[in-house]
A and B are shown apart, each in its own frame.
Chain A
Amino acid sequence: MARSILKVLSDEEVQRIHETSLKILQEFGAKIDDEDLRNDLVDLGCSVEGDRVKIPADVVEKVVENVKKHNHLTFTSRTGYTVEMNPDTTVTHTAGGLPDIIDLETGAKRRPLTEDFIASMRLINQLEYPEFPCALVYPDDVPSQINQVKQVELMFRYSKKPIYSPGISSPGEAKFIASLFKAFEESYKDEIKNPMGNVCISPESPLHIPQVITDTMKEIISAGIATSILSAPVGGMTGPLTLAGGLAQVNAEMIAFATVCYVINPETPLFYGSRLFYANMKTGCTIMGLPETGLASAAAAQMAAYNGFLSDVFGLCNTSCTYDVQSGYEKAINGLVPALAGASWISGFGSMASLMVASYEALVIDSEIFSLMKRVLDGITVNDDTLGLDVLHSAIEGSMILAHPHTIKHLRSGELFKPDLGFNSVWSDWVKDGSKDIQTVARERVRELIEKDEIVPLPDDLEKEVNEIMAEATKELVK
């Protein structure tokens, strides 16, 4: 479905940025704390100066060629929901790891609990978009040492869609998360041959892969779990302020990370998870509603495509702290621009306040926003039938266009967008329907959809295995 309609960078600019990344990798290299990995990278053809690994162009070429082999993926959930991903598709996932949530009853911001985590999964099950839930919130009632393991367990339990696991930065938790992936995929191996989800891991900017991250990678990448590389420099703080410089840095960090993955397990599919973002330069606080967020994401999608990666970028992100016009225009700009540039994965669903607050209503509204974007991405079909000469001729001959079979056929095939949530009539109807704003309509829909979602229990043997993994994780990690 995705068509790269928009190019925010010319082909020459893409190439120039990539060449700068090669220069970064050859001249500055990446700091890699793990000595054994540094030695493995030397065997691959890199050179080492102190703890910095310099990656020459021929090694980059080898790594990039390998990445391209894994850019056609199909994910399937345990209930059979299947999502294809390849260089021509655009799919979506929620934001992840948000520390607060808007209470559905009171409208107040508060810490989320396990019940919120489960409710968000059940709501996402019933929405058209996103196709993947991420761990939207951090449940405050789960010990921090096993919080991410618990999130993955809950996602596998309650999501009917393939999962986008939280960003992992603890090898201790990574081990148990890999065990959960194995347990679920083994349990359903007769019916489901595809991966059930992915995880994400972040290098540090600029150009540093700390020991804790390579230890995490050893657990996840060795297990072959598809991984989004979340490279997240903040422009002007941990990377150049200029977008071109930030993009070259992100591209170099992606390739450095992919090179390390190559020596750990070259068969693991990798995503180009650009998270280049910017701050309010008055306060230093990062804010997500800037148009540069969308612009950088679109450019990253182009850089990813150039190197054969599937991309994973920011999308429906905003700075606004409420359901207002600002929220709408920020999400629209930051979602649509990368989507038009052919981004493979658009993120941010369910978030507000610069990815600091989750909202049930926002999940429902964002599904609707992306439906509009999807219509734009579907574009305009031009052929003899859609050009409509016959219908125009019949009208001239005196027949009604409104009742013409051509009109009915194309109305049914989705030529015109029909909102599922948004208002699409006239003022008098809006008043008759209670003069509701979009938040009110969304809140009513949240309740309805969660109630509709039926929980699918785990098979007994898997239930037992999952409980054992969680018990072991608790014993080992919660001190």
Chain B
Amino acid sequence: MGLEQLVACVVEADMDNVEDMIKKELDAGTDPAVILKDGLINGMDVVGEQFESGDFFLPEMLAAALTMKAGVEYLKSHLVGDSNESAGTVIVGTVEGDIHDIGKNLVTMMLEGAGFEVYDVGIDVATEDFVKAVKEKNPQILGLSSLLTNTMPSIKTVIAALKEAGLREQVKIMIGGAPVTQEFADDVGADGYASDAAGAVALARGFMGN
């Protein structure tokens, strides 16, 4: 078996067989870092190309990302040093008063698929809890989501609270949600806005200099 089969496994989101395939490669003596790079990551690159060309849609993309995540989890203990390094750390959450989570969950899964370490702090998250999470996890990026027009002001409140806590400069803030716009992001002093989950990944990569 060659790594092309593992690539196909990610592309086809064959969650049931991903661990077996990785195990066989490990048993055959393939370097875990090579399995990660040429198998799993390469599989997601193919998925990304299919998505860009219009052949794949969000469900296929997410299913592949979940398969890759399962593969990485399995492979993790075999990886050493830099080969297990994440693309960056992100905290995501839906702001206070808002219990919607689809957009946030999509962003979380897409970021994880892109190799970010993501801490999802949930929905209806109080401002002080965002501040606490930033203090504790020290992420490079904070993602704030709001679906309701009346909860959008909470985004501004979180940004103000981070400033007051002296944490604003150490984290890039990206915001999103159906009623959120670039103009709003500019108004409240966020570092970026994305209209969809794929845009959020591109934004996060940009923040990390990739």
Contact = CB atoms under 8 A, between A and B. Distances in A.
A283 B150 contact: no
A452 to B, nearest CB: 30
B150 A138 contact: yes
Contacts of B197: 283-284
B155 to A, nearest CB: 11
B151 A144 contact: yes
Interface in A238-265: 238
A281 B179 contact: no
B124 to A, nearest CB: 8
A200 to B, nearest CB: 14
Contacts of A144: 97, 150-154
Contacts of B57: 281-282
A148 B150 contact: yes
Interface string A188-205: 000000000000000010
A284 B153 CA distance: 23
B58 A282 contact: yes
Interface in B135-154: 148-154
B102 A138 contact: no
Contact of B181 (A100, A169, A236, A238): A100
A307 interface: no
Contacts of A285: 178, 195-196
Interface in A131-181: 138, 144, 147-148, 169-170
A204 B99 CA distance: 9
B99 A210 contact: yes
A56 interface: no
A234 interface: yes
B59 interface: yes
A97 interface: yes
Given A212-B99, A285-B178, A356-B178, A138 B196 contact: no
A285 B107 CA distance: 12
A99 interface: yes
A144 B102 CA distance: 23
Interface in B171-210: 178-179, 181, 195-199
Interface residues of A, number: 25
A283 B54 CA distance: 11
A411 interface: no
Contacts of A279: 58
B152 A284 contact: no
Contacts of A237: 102
A106 to B, nearest CB: 14
A51 to B, nearest CB: 15
B103 interface: yes
Contact of B179 (A204, A283, A356): A356
Interface string A252-296: 000000000000000000000000000101111110000000000
B21 interface: no
A281 B58 contact: yes
Contacts of A170: 97
Interface in B27-60: 51, 54, 57-59
B145 to A, nearest CB: 12
B115 to A, nearest CB: 20
Contact of B103 (A97, A281, A284): A284
A283 B99 contact: no
Contacts of A212: 99
Contacts of A210: 99
Contacts of B103: 284
B106 interface: yes
A216 to B, nearest CB: 12
A159 B92 CA distance: 41
Given A283-B198, A285-B196, A356-B178, A99 B152 contact: yes
Contacts of A238: 102
Contacts of B153: 144
A358 B160 CA distance: 30
A237 B102 CA distance: 7
A284 B184 CA distance: 21
Nearest to A112: B149
Nearest to A213: B99
Interface in B86-104: 97, 99, 102-103
9 contacts: A99-B179, A148-B150, A170-B97, A204-B99, A236-B59, A281-B58, A282-B51, A282-B57, A283-B58
Interface of A: 97-100, 138, 144, 147-148, 169-170, 204, 210, 212, 234, 236-238, 279, 281-286, 356
Interface of B: 51, 54, 57-59, 97, 99, 102-103, 106, 148-154, 178-179, 181, 195-199
The 6 tightest CB contacts between A and B, nearest first, are: A99-B179, A283-B196, A281-B57, A138-B149, A99-B149, A144-B150
Given A170-B97, A238-B102, 9 more contacts: A100-B179, A144-B97, A210-B99, A237-B102, A281-B58, A283-B199, A284-B103, A285-B178, A285-B196
